[in-house]
Amino acid sequence: MKISVNDQCPCHSGKKYKKCCQPYHKGVIPANATLLMRSRYSAFVLRNARYIISTTHPDNTDFTNDIKQWEEDIFGFCDNINFDGLKILEFIDGDSEAYVQFDEILSGAHFIEKSRFLKEEGRWLYESGVFE
């Protein structure tokens, strides 16, 4: 999916892409785990596999050094899902560990997920997520 910088951000924030997740996709470090979570969600919508990979913690079960295969897996996921909605339910911040609970609508179905993020060298990374 291609969007213009003035389009609504795919993370469903109601803001323009250029005022929301685009800066993170261009290299700005998200200040907290919620911003990272939103920018990963919009990266899935935009098929930005590089961003997903670069913000995944090495302890994540999807983590692999086979970048080519990992990208293919991400594209496969993105192409088969409609990202219909995102609402942050709870954000538990910390110095090096944070949790974000959110309600996402994927292809019309609601999922409540709680994601765990770890901070490594000043950058938040997605470590794991559980569906509730």
Sites of contact with Zn ion (CB under 5 A): 9, 11, 13, 20-21, 38, 42
Alpha helix positions (H), 46-126 = 49-54, 67-79
Decide: helix, strand or coil at residue 35.
helix
Of 42 and 56, which CB lies nearer to Zn ion in the complex structure?
42
- Shortest reach from residue 36's CB to Zn ion, in Å: 11
Of 20 and 52, which CB lies nearer to Zn ion in the complex structure?
20
Of 11 and 49, which CB lies nearer to Zn ion in the complex structure?
11
Distance CA 90, CA 103 (A): 10
- Shortest reach from residue 22's CB to Zn ion, in Å: 8
Distance CA 94, CA 98 (A): 5
